[in-house]
Structure 1
Amino acid sequence: MNKTGVIFHPIISSIQKMALYETKSKYYLVGSNNTQTRFRVLKIDRMEAKELEIYDDKVEYTQEEIHNLICMIDSGNRRATGGGFSKVISAFGIVGFIKFLEGYYIILITKRCKVAVIGHHAIYKIEDTTMVYIPHESVRLLHPDETRYAKMFQNIDLRSNFYYSYSYDLTHTLQHNLTNPKRFEPNLNPEVKDDDIDSISNDLCTSVVLSNSDAMDTQHFGIRTQPHKKFVWNIHLLSDSVRAELHPDWIIYITHGFIGQSNINIFGRSIYVTLIARRSSRYAGTRFLKRGANFQGDVANEVETEQMVHDSGVSSFSQSHFTSFVQMRGSIPGHWKQEMSKMMAKPAITIDFYDPFAETAGLHFNELLKRYGAPIIILNLVKQRERKKQEGLLSDELSSAVKYLNQFLPVEHQIIYKTFDMARKNKGTANVMDHLAGIARNSVMRVGIFHNKPQYYSQKTATVVGQYKNHFGSLQTGIVRTNCVDCLDRTNTAQFAIGKCVLGFQLCALGILDTPNLEFDTDCVRMLESLYEDHGDTLALQYGGSQLVHRIKTYRKTAPWTSQGNDIMQTLSRYYSNTFSDAEKQNAINLFLGLFIPEEEKPQIWDYTNDYYFHHKPIIFSLKSMTQWWDNGVLKCLPYAFNDLTKACSELIQVHSRDVEMIDSYLDYYRPYELGVLDDLFSLKISNSIRDFMPSFTTSYSPFALRVRPVRRREEGSTKGAAMKNPSVTGQSSSCSTASSTSSSSENESSDDEDGSYAKVAEGTSSKGSIPEPFTFKRMFPTMKQVYGTELQRPSPEDILTYKKYVLIGKKASGSAKSIFTSPCGEMKTVGDIPRDTCFKVTPPIVSQGSIQVYKKYISVGEKGGVRPRASDMEIYRKYASFK
């Protein structure tokens, strides 16, 4: 809620359940929106997929009415065509439409699973899809290459880590989603000029309140915003012509990357840690075929990773405590490559052409300033010392580009460039993780974190980071950009180090910890490490063709010797994928993203030797300034993000209900008009929780307690994390969940934990050469003295006598207390006006003038000494003395 008294909530943007019905001439999609009991009917002409019509646009139906509607369509088609009305398939959403060389196909989501929740907003992973050919067989024009294109398109396995949500915008960060819109633009084609930045304010909110101030104090409005197209992977399947004809309720925007959610159970209080990785759909591809950046500033393997921590005890999106931190990875913004023509594991790095004015890097960093604000902190992890300069060429390019661009920025908003040679430090005796922890802390202190609530009244200053605002909370201003050569192994370890540092500040912001320091050997950090390794394995499979080779344990130097064999296998798998299958993967990605559109009598995609001109659009000559490399208005918004300060909404409706959410969770889980499976009611399976990382027998249930030895791995004998299987973008079989994060060393680390010897080690006893103690009742159920250090005892006679006196005084005072504290009617009245203090605000007590005068006299006695008593006081003292 902002200061104008307006609360904005997202509008449900998609129909959650639909069915495809078939006739001889048309397809009918009958959709239902469970949270609003609204049904929509979409007619698709089988002759031309672009002719889409929507019937009963604003009509809301009940279940009985939609059944009658289907029967009416059925009977009408029978009279007109003599055919039937048959159901083809049930689906959960429309991915889009695609056309190759014959006719259009419609892609439908037929199976899904819930992988995370953010408040009441559910995030789903696509489990299965289907393609339905729209034109009728009687009008189908056969083409010999149609089947090959269809198989190539289906190589993009939509079951491999594609996500969507009906009510939450996955393409934007939590900070952007919780930012109130500043203007209303139905067409959403903003051209913000430099002079308009000073006048940008909450005009939309102010006008709404002024026009409705007589109706109620607080207005609830639902808004629909447009997604960030960079992270939408089906934007080509939902082309402009299709989106113009389709109602937004039919459209689902899918993202590609990784989403994992874990539960930190702190003595019964569930704190959810959610990791959301969004892969960019621009300049997307495989490892050696996509390096550097294109002329538009889009870099290869660009991934935005958001670490979100929130209190799940309150499901409301507007009332719960949310914290988040955003970091990103991406290739070095320049024009360089590694040729795969020779059979070698590490091809030589070559610079295509040099960019003396850093135009490509300027376009890239301009977009970062617009999305995240300032400062931009670059953490470069490539090698700095080499016998033959290879990775050093990239460092020189990036360093010179940053130096050139910083000349024209104000000092307080300049790009911060840091280098750290992880490979060299890891070969020596230096502690890599300690160095990364120092870099991470300095970076987080500069950019801050996002928190949607004000800081606690008693919160320590050292635990507060970010641009704090009194009425809102803290904002993250800036971004930490991490890169190595591939942006895979070293980058993932550095991002984990940053995430570990951020987690401490997030838990402090939620009031759980007093200090942001987290030790490695705790269950909480092990869980975060597992989450980041799943995150790294998934992104490595999507970009490099194999899981991580060098893991976090490698740089902590805690990996067992048996992990070397696994590293060799992953290296060979990555080499094979890069050499033999990346070209076919790249063609499938280019076809899916619409970078290549098949046309008759033109060369087909397999006829091209490379896809250079698909990703590098022709440069249009323009007299662009070489000094002002940022867009108009960006500089005036710093350190805040330009996109947040100019946020617009495309649809605005007033919510008549005072409910804080526009989502009906009951109908989302329980469907009273349908038959369902019991397991579907518990569809959310959190990948892991803190209990999976705790030892089987322990007396310390705190997730922040130090553990002496590694604990049993969560993959052994566990079915959790199954929602993240097969993360390869092109359908390559993999086992990210069952063999990722800790798969390389799980078998060797857990051999001693299963026999229950961890309990003895945690208590400080040695397990070498000792016989395990037998499992007894006392060992499984320890006493209160052993667990809490105290136990219940019978009270002493003195305590019982004191309590009896207390009860007796209460009985004798009940009569007078009733006359003082109750009214004649028997209703309780407050004796004094006690202020309701909270952890956010403390109201000071009101001191009367008489009390102030007494205090002043007390102070004057200390300063000037005692005063002669009055005659009346002396007379009272004489009477007292004579009485004694």
Structure 2
Amino acid sequence: MRPLHQRYTLYSERNDTYIFVPEGEAQSLTIHRSSGDIVLNSPKYTVPYAAQRSQKTIYGILGLISLTLSEYVIVVTGRALQTQFRGHDIYRATEFDILPLGVVSAYIPPHPVESHLLALVRSHLNGGNFLFSYTWDLTRRLQVQQGAEESDAGKSFWEVVDDRFFWNRYLQTKLIDIASSNPTAAYGSFILPIMYGTFEVKPTFLHGRHMLLALISRRSRFRAGTRYFRRGIDHSGHVANFNESEQILLVEGQTSPGSVPANDDSYVTKLSFVQIRGSVPVFWSEINTLRYKPDLQIMDLQDTGNAMQIHFSNLKKIYGQQSLVNLVNQKGYEKPVKEAYERHISELDQPGVKYEYFDFHAECRNMRWDRISVLIDQIKEEVDKNGYFQISQGESTPKRIQTGVVRTNCMDNLDRTNVVQAALAKYTLNNQLRDLGILSPDDGVDDYEAFSKEFRELWADHADSIAKAYGGSGALKSDFTRTNKRTRRGALEDGYKSVMRYLKNNFFDGARQDGFDLVSGTWIPRKNPSLSLFLINDPRPLITRSMPAIASFSLFMICAGLTLPRTSDYSLFYYFLLWFFLFAIAMVFILIHGIEYVAWPRLNPPTDIIYYNGPGYRSGHHGKGLNGQAEPSWKHSKGSATGRRRAKSNVEELELGTIRKRVD
């Protein structure tokens, strides 16, 4: 593949141009600020004498984003070496800079709407785990890369990466369009793909073999978002929280215990095992109402079967046979999701898709987490049939290929899913080491504590990273992944993580979701900030906005009253009665109107889902006022597309099957 530029010096010529000069003899790139034109300079081009040099080193161009007042260039100004793998450096982006093309300041914008949108972009960039490499494609699994070596020759990175995991694909649209129309020019060397995910490598040693154990998670950019604001499937067949996890094992030839690998070529065998996870592929959601358990909403749309068929057809085309493992509870709150999934799967009856249910909480109750082996026994025939990828040094043809994957899901695709995926990864790792002759048929990874610890830590860190990105806290049940035991201390830590998830999901994830929608291009602003004032205004009535302040002040006065001198118990009784009464009234009002106090996304508010009245299932109508029908103030806020658009019915709205981009 064509190499990527790894370092730039940035020059700016007054307010006219940005000039990116790569290291070496490569051509520089000029972006004209007034017109937005991007030009590849001739090899003989020299930077103007009057151009001002930036003190920051640029490590990559993430792309361009257009907001209400200006277009901006987003660049990487800080990076940290995440790991080294097969001779390639893998970096994590740590610092970013936003360069305006128009005559505006990216730090003190002249309009509050522009300032708000820039804050969303910065928050998204600083809150994600973005990885990149200049010399190795992070987005494709080993098996795919091995089979595409000839076709990749002479292409740029952006042309070969997996589009699902090309996180900044929308930001790079302008550069990609220019590169596509000028295929012989070197524009592609400026297009840096980044991946949202994790990559961790652990060197280890077992029975005279040096090995590298690596684990990669790749998060899809489609239907991306946060826990309660992105659930289920869309009409294009994309599901929420879709992640591909690839466990890679590099094995060296036989050596003595005191030796070290000479170089990357000493790993004579490369093995890979891939799993996927994704939300239950039906139209469903959970609606926050400030209660610990949100209202469960399932929308039984006519398009559900078609969307599910598209989803599984795409997965079969990419991965092969599908083994579906569903961990959703078969009783209580989660039961309707399980039933909807199974009903549509049975109606679909698609060849190459096998469904398996496992009642995780019932089987593993009372901390009997060793019962995961029951699930392994149920699906090991399929796992063995799907196999794994293996290729040896010097061979052009793989010894084995993986012909299918296990797709695991629970409600969030986090905690239970992590435990099951780690168990399947360990089962496959045991098979790989036995097939290589490193382990005997009666031995397993758990028999070697040092090696087993490296494996457990790898998967526990992997679980925490995915859970933080989607749910807002580290993974629950990670003590079992780390120690092979479920402990009471781990249960207490899970309680703390659950509280943090509740707080973040109700009061902070709205802005996070807006960041996803803005950077991914799901919402596109118009060039007029006045049309987007609804983003910074609070349309709620004064009484609604005042209740948290009344509750807080009442609580303060109650606490203050405990310190007052008790000269008259009679007067203090009425004092406490007054403030307890005001506090209770405020809290009851907040709970009855809970939807008004959730930090909803403002770019694409889920009004049509919250007030869906078509066929399906709804666990309750909490937080909507006394009659359960009140609409939130932001639904009709001036300037909001949702407030202006009145569909004939929610059913028609959701069955249109189109992705509506907000352009207010």
Pairwise TM-score range, normalised by the shorter structure: 0.7 to 0.9
SS at match of 2:355: strand
Q: Please report how far the alpha carbon of residue 392 of structure 1 lies from its aligned counterpart in structure 2 after TM superposition.
A: 2.2
The amino acid of 1:20's aligned partner reads L
Q: Distance in 2 between matches of 1:345 and 1:604?
A: 32
Residues 555 and 617 (structure 1 numbering): CA distance in 2 closer, same or farther, change over 3 Å? farther
The corresponding residue for 1:166 is: 134
Q: Distance in 2 between matches of 1:608 and 1:593?
A: 12
Residues 471 and 157 (structure 1 numbering): CA distance in 2 closer, same or farther, change over 3 Å? closer
Alignment partner for residue 426 of structure 1, among 354, 364, 370?
364
Residues 173 and 605 (structure 1 numbering): CA distance in 2 closer, same or farther, change over 3 Å? farther
The corresponding residue for 2:662 is: none
Larger Rg, first or second structure (1 or 2): 1
SS at match of 2:160: coil
Q: Distance in 2 between matches of 1:612 and 1:517?
A: 55
The amino acid of 1:291's aligned partner reads R
Q: Distance in 2 between matches of 1:231 and 1:124?
A: 16
Residues 616 and 539 (structure 1 numbering): CA distance in 2 closer, same or farther, change over 3 Å? farther
Q: Please report how far the alpha carbon of residue 173 of structure 1 lies from its aligned counterpart in structure 2 after TM superposition.
A: 1.2
Q: Please report how far the alpha carbon of residue 306 of structure 1 lies from its aligned counterpart in structure 2 after TM superposition.
A: 0.5
Q: Distance in 1 between matches of 2:267 and 2:459?
A: 28
User: Is residue 275 of structure 2 the alignment partner of residue 327 of structure 1?
Assistant: yes
Residues 125 and 357 (structure 1 numbering): CA distance in 2 closer, same or farther, change over 3 Å? closer
Deviations 1:43-70 (A, max 9, x none): 1112122x1111236x8xxxxxxxxx7x
Question: Contact 1:357 / 1:404 at 8 angstroms: preserved in 2?
Answer: no
Q: Distance in 1 between matches of 2:139 and 2:405?
A: 17
The corresponding residue for 2:407 is: 481
Deviations 1:10-44 (A, max 9, x none): 432x2011110122132211012xxxx54221111
The amino acid of 1:328's aligned partner reads I
User: Is residue 493 of structure 2 the alignment partner of residue 507 of structure 1?
Assistant: no
Deviations 1:759-788 (A, max 9, x none): xxxxxxxxxxxxxxxxxxxxxxxxxxxxxx
Q: Please report how far the alpha carbon of residue 153 of structure 1 lies from its aligned counterpart in structure 2 after TM superposition.
A: 1.2
Residues 237 and 471 (structure 1 numbering): CA distance in 2 closer, same or farther, change over 3 Å? closer
User: Is residue 52 of structure 2 the alignment partner of residue 112 of structure 1?
Assistant: no
The corresponding residue for 1:45 is: 32
The amino acid of 2:274's aligned partner reads V
SS at match of 1:145: helix
Deviations 1:352-400 (A, max 9, x none): 1245872121111011011111x2100111112x2x4x32222222222
Q: Please report how far the alpha carbon of residue 564 of structure 1 lies from its aligned counterpart in structure 2 after TM superposition.
A: 3.1
Q: Distance in 1 between matches of 2:30 and 2:655?
A: 37
Alignment partner for residue 127 of structure 1, among 94, 119, 122?
94
Q: Distance in 1 between matches of 2:266 and 2:303?
A: 48
Question: Contact 1:376 / 1:479 at 8 angstroms: preserved in 2?
Answer: yes
SS at match of 2:172: coil
SS at match of 2:27: strand
Question: Contact 1:284 / 1:290 at 8 angstroms: preserved in 2?
Answer: yes
Residues 30 and 267 (structure 1 numbering): CA distance in 2 closer, same or farther, change over 3 Å? farther
The corresponding residue for 2:204 is: 264
Deviations 1:642-681 (A, max 9, x none): xxxxxxxxxxxxxxxxxxxxxxxxxxxxxxxxxxxxxxxx
Residues 141 and 262 (structure 1 numbering): CA distance in 2 closer, same or farther, change over 3 Å? closer
Q: Please report how far the alpha carbon of residue 516 of structure 1 lies from its aligned counterpart in structure 2 after TM superposition.
A: 8.1
Alignment TM-score, normalising by the size of structure 2: 0.73
Q: Distance in 1 between matches of 2:458 and 2:151?
A: 38
The amino acid of 2:474's aligned partner reads Q
Alignment partner for residue 520 of structure 1, among 429, 435, 446?
446
Alignment partner for residue 472 of structure 2, among 545, 548, 551?
545
Residues 159 and 511 (structure 1 numbering): CA distance in 2 closer, same or farther, change over 3 Å? farther
Q: Distance in 2 between matches of 1:589 and 1:600?
A: 20
Q: Distance in 2 between matches of 1:454 and 1:401?
A: 45
Q: Please report how far the alpha carbon of residue 265 of structure 1 lies from its aligned counterpart in structure 2 after TM superposition.
A: 2.3
Deviations 1:491-513 (A, max 9, x none): 00000001101212333455533
1:664-743 → structure 2 map (5 Å cutoff): none
Q: Please report how far the alpha carbon of residue 450 of structure 1 lies from its aligned counterpart in structure 2 after TM superposition.
A: 0.3
The amino acid of 1:449's aligned partner reads Y
Percent identity over the alignment?
26
Q: Please report how far the alpha carbon of residue 435 of structure 1 lies from its aligned counterpart in structure 2 after TM superposition.
A: 1.7
- Measured on the aligned residues, the alpha-carbon RMSD in Å equals 3.2
The corresponding residue for 2:575 is: none
Q: Please report how far the alpha carbon of residue 404 of structure 1 lies from its aligned counterpart in structure 2 after TM superposition.
A: 2.5
Alignment partner for residue 341 of structure 2, among 383, 398, 401?
398
Alignment partner for residue 417 of structure 1, among 355, 363, 366?
355
The amino acid of 2:336's aligned partner reads L
Deviations 1:116-140 (A, max 9, x none): 33312222111211222233469x9
The amino acid of 1:39's aligned partner reads A
1:619-630 → structure 2 map (5 Å cutoff): 619=657
The amino acid of 1:41's aligned partner reads S
Q: Please report how far the alpha carbon of residue 519 of structure 1 lies from its aligned counterpart in structure 2 after TM superposition.
A: 4.3
Q: Distance in 1 between matches of 2:469 and 2:356?
A: 27
The corresponding residue for 2:618 is: none
Q: Distance in 2 between matches of 1:366 and 1:286?
A: 26
Q: Please report how far the alpha carbon of residue 437 of structure 1 lies from its aligned counterpart in structure 2 after TM superposition.
A: 3.6
The amino acid of 1:431's aligned partner reads D
1:777-796 → structure 2 map (5 Å cutoff): none
Question: Contact 1:381 / 1:484 at 8 angstroms: preserved in 2?
Answer: yes
1:638-657 → structure 2 map (5 Å cutoff): none
Q: Distance in 2 between matches of 1:270 and 1:555?
A: 22
User: Is residue 340 of structure 2 the alignment partner of residue 379 of structure 1?
Assistant: no
Q: Distance in 2 between matches of 1:612 and 1:555?
A: 41
Q: Please report how far the alpha carbon of residue 573 of structure 1 lies from its aligned counterpart in structure 2 after TM superposition.
A: 0.3
User: Is residue 169 of structure 2 the alignment partner of residue 235 of structure 1?
Assistant: yes
The amino acid of 2:389's aligned partner reads F
1:270-419 → structure 2 map (5 Å cutoff): 270-311=210-251, 313=261, 315=263, 320-341=268-289, 343-355=290-302, 358-373=305-320, 375-384=321-330, 386=331, 388=332, 390-406=333-349, 409=351, 414-419=352-357
Alignment partner for residue 63 of structure 2, among 82, 96, 100?
96
The amino acid of 1:122's aligned partner reads D
Q: Distance in 2 between matches of 1:415 and 1:127?
A: 41
Q: Which runs of 5+ in 2 are unaligned?
A: 180-185, 253-260, 536-601, 609-640, 642-652, 660-664
1:811-850 → structure 2 map (5 Å cutoff): none
Q: Please report how far the alpha carbon of residue 252 of structure 1 lies from its aligned counterpart in structure 2 after TM superposition.
A: 0.6
How many corresponding residue pairs? Answer: 528
The amino acid of 1:148's aligned partner reads H
Deviations 1:289-328 (A, max 9, x none): 1111111111111100000111364756798421101101
Deviations 1:180-219 (A, max 9, x none): 36869xxxxxxxxxxxxxxxxxxxxxxxxxxxxxxxxxxx
The amino acid of 2:168's aligned partner reads N
Q: Which runs of 5+ in 1 are unaligned?
A: 1-9, 60-68, 76-82, 185-220, 456-468, 622-884
Quick check: 548-557 or 574-583, which moved more?
548-557
Alignment partner for residue 485 of structure 2, among 558, 572, 577?
558
Question: Contact 1:500 / 1:525 at 8 angstroms: preserved in 2?
Answer: no
Give 1 or 2: higher helix fraction: 2
Alignment TM-score, normalising by the size of structure 1: 0.56
Q: Distance in 1 between matches of 2:173 and 2:64?
A: 8
User: Is residue 218 of structure 2 the alignment partner of residue 180 of structure 1?
Assistant: no
The amino acid of 2:22's aligned partner reads G
Residues 401 and 181 (structure 1 numbering): CA distance in 2 closer, same or farther, change over 3 Å? farther
SS at match of 1:178: helix
More contact order relative to length (CA 8 Å, sep ≥ 6): 1
Q: Please report how far the alpha carbon of residue 609 of structure 1 lies from its aligned counterpart in structure 2 after TM superposition.
A: 6.8
Question: Contact 2:21 / 2:27 at 8 angstroms: preserved in 1?
Answer: yes
